[in-house]
Amino acid sequence: MMTIRFGCCCLVALPVVLSTCQNPLEGVVLKIKDPIQQGVVECRFYDPAGNPLPNVNEIIMAGPDSKQVVTTLNTNRFRINADGNLLVAASPLASLTAQTPFRFTTVVAAENYLTVVQPFSLTGPSRVTRTIRRINLLKPPKTLTAARSFGQATADGTVSGTFDVTTAGQPSSIDQATVSIRSGTRLTDRDDQAVGGKLKMAIIHTNNRESNPTSQVPGSGIMSAVNGKNGKFSLGTLRISSIAGSVTFEVYNDTYQLVKKLSQPVSWSMDINPATINRKTGKAVQAGDSIPLYSYDAVTSRWQEETPGVVVRNSQTGTLSYQAQATDVAAYVAAWSESICDVGPVFKVANSKFSNVDVNYLCKLIDATTGVQVSSFYANVNNNALIRIYNQSRGRTLKLQIYDETDAWGKGTKGGLIAGSAVGTTCDQTPVAINLSSLPVPPVMKLEFNFSCPAGMKLDEASLPAEIRTQYSEPGKEAWRDLITATRTQRKVSSYKLKVGRKYDFRASTDGGASWPLRQNDYLVDKPEWVLKIKMESYCK
Q: Do residues 271 and 122 share a domain?
A: no
- Band (pLDDT 50/70/90 cuts) for residue 266 is very high
Last residue of a domain, one of 389, 404, 435: 435
- Are 158 and 273 in the same domain? yes
Residue 388 lies in a domain: yes
Q: Is residue 440 domain-resident?
A: no
| CA distances for 17 relative to 13, 101, 233, 510, angstroms | 6, 45, 66, 18
> What is residue 35's predicted lDDT score, i.e. its pLDDT?
87
Q: Residue 236 to residues 243, 322, 337, 340: CA-CA distances in angstroms?
A: 19, 25, 11, 8
Average pLDDT of the segment spanning 356-379: 97
| Domain assignment present for 138 | no
Mean pLDDT, residues 493-517 taken together: 90
Average pLDDT of span 131-151:
95
pLDDT at position 27 is 43
- The enclosing domain of 452 has a CATH number of 2.60.40
User: What is the phi/psi pair of residue 248, to 5°?
Assistant: -115, 130
Specify if 403 maps to a domain: yes
Q: Are 420 and 368 in contact (CB under 8 A)?
A: no
Residues 26 and 122 in one domain: no
pLDDT of amino acid 529: 86
Q: Is the pLDDT of residue 6 over 50?
A: no
When pLDDT is averaged across residues 96-115 and rounded to a whole number, the result is: 97
| pLDDT for res 186 | 98
Given this model, what pLDDT does residue 291 score? 98
Same domain, 290 and 156: yes
Q: What percent of the chain has pLDDT over 70?
A: 93
Q: Looking at residues 76-90, what average pLDDT do you find?
A: 96
In this structure, the answer to whether residues 151 and 93 fall within a common structural domain is: no
User: How many structural domains compose the chain?
Assistant: 4
pLDDT of 520 reads 84
Highest mean pLDDT among 26-30, 121-125, 514-518: 121-125
| pLDDT tens readout for residues 159-194 | 999 899 999 855 555 789 999 999 999 999 999 999
- Residue 221 pLDDT class (50, 70, 90 cuts): very high
Domain that holds residue 191: 144-340
Residue 139 lies in a domain: no
Considering 404, 435, 466, which residue would you say is the last residue of a domain? 435
Q: How many residues does the chain have?
A: 541
More reliable by pLDDT, 13 or 222: 222
Instruction: Note whether residue 365 is domain-resident.
Output: yes
Q: If you average pLDDT over every residue of the chain, what do you get? A: 90
Q: Looking at the structure, tell me whether residues 54 and 108 fall in a common domain.
A: yes
Please say if the pLDDT value at position 202 is more than 90: yes
**Cα dist. 14→134, 531, 537, 538 in Å?**
47, 20, 10, 12
% of the chain residues with pLDDT over 90: 75
What would the 3-class secondary structure string for 70-130 be? ECCCCCCCCCCCCCCEEEEEECCCCCCCCCCCEEEEEEEECCCECCEEEEEEECCCCCEEE
